Structure formats: C-alpha cells, structure tokens
Amino acid sequence: MLTLYGTPVSNFYNKVKLALLEKGIPFVEEFAAPSQEPEFLEKSPMGKIPFIKDSNEYIFESGVILEYIESLYPQKNRLMPATPWAAAVCRSIITIIELYLDGPARRLLPAAFFGAPTTPEEVQNVQAELDRGVAALKRLVKFNPCIAGGDLSYADICAITVLPMVSMVMTTLGGKDPLADWKELQDYFAFLRTRPHVQRVEAEAKAAREAFIASKK
C-alpha cells in the first residue's frame, strides 16, 4: 500500500491526496514536515513535502507522483486524458496554475501565515503577476463542466487544491483576491465541491490549518 507523507496544511499534499482518493487507490497518511535532516533528505532530496513510499522506495514532487500513480492505474478512474492533445491541455492548465499563480503567491506565504515582513510594494508586484496569470488561465480553460473539458482530470485536482490558497494569501495581506470576480470559476468550484472527496480534503485541510495557526500563537 502507498504511504503519503506530508500534512494537509500543504496544498500540494492535498493535490496528491485528492488524486489518490478520486483514483480509488488505497493509501495511508503519515505526518511529515519539511526538513533538511540527512535521513529526511534520503526520502525527499530537497527536503520538501509531499512524497510517497511504494515498496520501500520513495517518490517526491507532486507532479511526478501524479504521473506515477496514473501509470500504475491507467484505466482506474483515469485522470490524465487519453489523447495526446487533451493531455497536453491538461498539463498546460496545471503549469499555468502552479507557475504563474501559486508561484508568485508562494513568495508571500511567510508573510501571510508566519508573520514574516513584507512591503506594500511586494504585495502589489505579486498582485500584478497574479493578474497576468489569471488572464492566461482564462484563455485556456473550458468549464464544460470540468476545467479541461468534460471529464475530471488532474487539472481539476490541481485547481481546487491550489487556487484557493492563492486567494487566501492575497486577502490575508490586504490584497485583492485575483479570482473573486471570475464568476465561471466560482461556479466551477461550487460544482467540484459537490464531490465527497473534495469535501473531505477541504475539511481536513481547514482543520489542519486552524490547528497549525493555533499552535503558533
């Protein structure tokens, strides 16, 4: 059985967790926080989460993990489209979300959740980058009813676990939620949140965040 290491505080941990649930792949969760300890680096060479263990071997980086579990179970609740073109669109959406939305917002995570210093100028710079990322995403998505077309895919898994964190970071720091005025996206989120696995992952993530924040007070 697969073991998923990390914490629901992490949106990328939740991305892998939701994918495993939607695929119907049995797994167990094991808490792990990022670390630079030598023993940890043997399992996750950059000291990051999430990572998984399968048959006493470790695989890290959430995108690589998703490719691995899809290759293990390609026909079980398929989440990567079968045709090369549709698969490329799915990967393109994921890339825009992770590089051009999560990437800029992540620079402000220490300020939003750990009290690290930032400046209004830095928040404004990130806001401008996010606006460009949202514009790019709008050019690509379909909402028919899923983000890459008719069937649930890894692009949906990424969107529902990663994009809400972008909104949370910006509003926590007094910035503008770059996604708030995108009605189609908000309707799409509501559609995904009717899925039991999405409800479970979001509820457990919320509880983990609240516990984490309380522990820092």
Q: What is the mean pLDDT of residues 187-210?
A: 97
CA-CA distances (angstroms) from residue 186 to 35, 160, 181, 205? Answer: 35, 10, 8, 19
CA 99/CA 140 separation, integer angstroms: 15
CA 163/CA 21 separation, integer angstroms: 19
CA 185/CA 19 separation, integer angstroms: 20
Under the banding of pLDDT at 50, 70 and 90, the label for residue 192 is: very high
Q: Which two tokens stand for residue 134?
A: 């949202």
Residue percentage of the chain with pLDDT more than 90: 89
Does pLDDT of 91 surpass 70? yes
Domain-by-domain residue ranges, the chain?
Answer: 2-72, 84-215
- What would the CATH number be for the domain defined by 2-72? 3.40.30.10
Torsion angle, CA of 48/44/94/13, rounded to 10 degrees?
-60
Nearest to 136 by CA among 184, 101, 173: 101
How much is the pLDDT for 65?
A: 97
How much is the pLDDT for 27?
A: 97
How much is the pLDDT for 75?
A: 78
How much is the pLDDT for 12?
A: 97
Q: Which two tokens stand for residue 117?
A: 């210093």
Q: Which two tokens stand for residue 183?
A: 């009605």
The tens digit of pLDDT for each residue in 59-83 reads 999 999 999 999 998 878 999 999 9
Q: Which two tokens stand for residue 158?
A: 């990424």
β partners of residue 52: 4, 59
How much is the pLDDT for 217?
A: 65
Mean pLDDT of the chain, nearest integer: 95
Q: Which two tokens stand for residue 122?
A: 């830095």
How much is the pLDDT for 215?
A: 80
Q: Hey, which CATH number is domain 84-215, 1.20.1050.10, 1.10.4030.10, 2.30.30.30, 1.10.1060.10?
A: 1.20.1050.10
What would you report as the CA-atom Rg of the chain, rounded to the nearest whole angstrom?
17
